[in-house]
Amino acid sequence: MRVLGIEGTAWCASAAVYDTETDSVFIESDAYEPDSGGIHPREAAEHMTEAIPEVVDVALGYAETQYGPDSIDAVAFSRGPGLGPCLRTVGTAARSLAGALDVPLVGVNHMVAHLEIGRHQSGFDNPVCLNASGANAHLLGFHDGRYRVLGETMDTGVGNAIDKFTRHVGWTHPGGPKVEEAAKDGEFVDLPYVVKGMDFSFAGIASAANDEYDQGTPVEDICFGLQEHVFAMLTEVSERALSLTGADELVLGGGVGQNDRLREMLETMCEARGADFYAPEPRFLRDNAGMIAVLGAKMAAAGDTLPIPDSAVDPNFRPDQVPVTWREGEASVARGLAAGETNDLRGAEALVEIIDGEYVRKQRVEKAYRHPELDRTLRRDRTVLEARLTSQARRAGVPTPLVHDVDVADAALTLQYVGDVDLAEEPTEARVRAVGEHLARIHGAGFVHGDPTTRNVRIVEDASPDEVAASTYLIDFGLGYHTGHVEDHSMDLHVFEGSIAGTTTDPEPLISAFEAGYRGEGDEAVIERLRTIERRGRYQ
């Protein structure tokens, strides 16, 4: 099969020809380069109108020369997410070509294509995928017929956050390569570092970088600090996703993935964890039609094509809305959990030693991928917070381990050993209801857990119905903090429900039970704000 792919979500007009027999991809691209500032939607649309016919002509010419006339078997196009005017130009071209060539039409989700090209080229079975591009930043994993969101940006995409700083400085788009080059001569600058479970935020760091520049901090130092913080955040949440699912494969997608420092961090983390890492070659990381054609071929082979009347583009096309027809019957990314293969002794941050079946010594290990100064600060602060908030939660009536000792110098805690297994291994409605009740109580006490996933809840397996709540323990408060804001409380719920949706076979009853537990003890306004968070679709 030979598929013509067309990409045009925002700034890059691209066409490609993919031959499934030889697994070869020809790509012709024409990127829009604004004279100043970032991408201007009107100018990008005008560029797309002019460039799409040209790149398609080149790709069709290649196909005819290489394979002869009538060699295209399907037309695939980027259906979304992206800028509406650009997407409509691409959609119109794709529909016209499919009709003229009398071949099937395939609508491809741009972000899923970023994931699939890495999975395709790496040969990995079922990886976690980190997508890091201009308008997006999220972690995806295949589960229960779709790519589930394991973690996401809560405000802006990673590339856009960097570009906000470079526009402030006066540098032209794209800003990422300029930051990477300047950072080579920089020194560490402390900036905000915001991780919430496997979600993260970049708005604060972009504003702080601008403030540093206005205060006279050398731009090279800001660039260095910006990279060290932003990419460490992405690497940390990637490790958290590997820990949550039990997966041991990670692929990188998106244009920001071309950054050498980001790839170095991810590779270092995976090597330390015993996981495999793969980053596609640069032409498949930046926006390109090659990945559209490759995924289009998989979808066409699965019969996942579009009638012309149903082929409208969708600027807000989320990856978790896509039925993954081409992977029907394949195992979940959380296969390690399903097989009971979780390793209680190694989480995303710490090594755990069980002492005489009564105590646990938990030590936050140094992360070689992080800058030493940032790493020391995070390990120290999180150790202190975990000890303090674990005790405060217990005083609020929430089952938590007793804290026996705090060793700040070694970033280590000695805690009571609680439970038999993680909730991730045996989730039930009664247990998740108890988690909802527990979170409501700590919110009422004025703080959040920060990372309430199913791996951070310990359970007693044979507890009677009357004992379930008392034998469902919250652990690992290291990302918690004091707050009375309803948004922060809702984020705790968002993180927990994301871990349920990403790892369980039938998440809806569990999520309903969890929210019922929260309602019974907490503020209904938190649930209402949770609905708002879910509707925002702050990344696409």
CATH assignment of the domain containing 523 = 1.10.510.10
Q: What Cα–Cα distance (Å) separates residue 432 from each residue in 198, 457, 515?
A: 19, 9, 9
Q: Is the pLDDT of residue 514 over 50?
A: yes
Catalytic annotation, pick one of 199, 320, 451, 476: 451
Do 264 and 295 lie in one domain? The reply is no
Do 47 and 177 lie in one domain? The reply is no
Q: Is the pLDDT of residue 204 over 80?
A: yes
Do 102 and 225 lie in one domain? The reply is no
Q: Is the pLDDT of residue 144 over 90?
A: no
Do 190 and 322 lie in one domain? The reply is no
Do 407 and 513 lie in one domain? The reply is no
Q: What is the mean pLDDT of residues 68-80?
A: 96
Question: What's the rounded Cα separation, in Å, for the pair 140 and 115?
Answer: 8
How many structural domains compose the chain? 4
Do 412 and 427 lie in one domain? The reply is no
Do 254 and 131 lie in one domain? The reply is yes
Question: Counting every residue, how long is the chain?
Answer: 540
- The pLDDT score that the predictor gives to residue 505 is 85
Do 264 and 133 lie in one domain? The reply is yes
Last residue of a domain, one of 385, 416, 447: 416
Do 268 and 293 lie in one domain? The reply is no
Residue 343 lies in a domain: no
Do 171 and 201 lie in one domain? The reply is yes
Do 464 and 527 lie in one domain? The reply is yes
Do 17 and 72 lie in one domain? The reply is yes
Residues 75-98 pLDDT 10s = 999 999 999 999 999 999 999 999
Last residue of a domain, one of 416, 439, 472: 416
Burial 183-200 (b: 16+ CB within 10 A, else e): beebeebebebbbbbbbb
Q: What is the mean pLDDT of residues 145-168?
A: 92
Hey, what amino acid is at 406? Answer: V
CATH assignment of the domain containing 57 = 3.30.420.40
Residues 464-483 pLDDT 10s = 999 999 999 999 999 999 99
Residues 209-264 pLDDT 10s = 999 999 999 999 999 999 999 999 999 999 999 998 889 999 999 999 999 999 99
- The pLDDT score that the predictor gives to residue 335 is 66
Last residue of a domain, one of 369, 396, 416: 416
- The pLDDT score that the predictor gives to residue 538 is 45
Is 451 annotated as catalytic?
Answer: yes
Contact (CB, 8 A) for 419 and 473: yes
* Owning domain of residue 106: 2-116+287-326
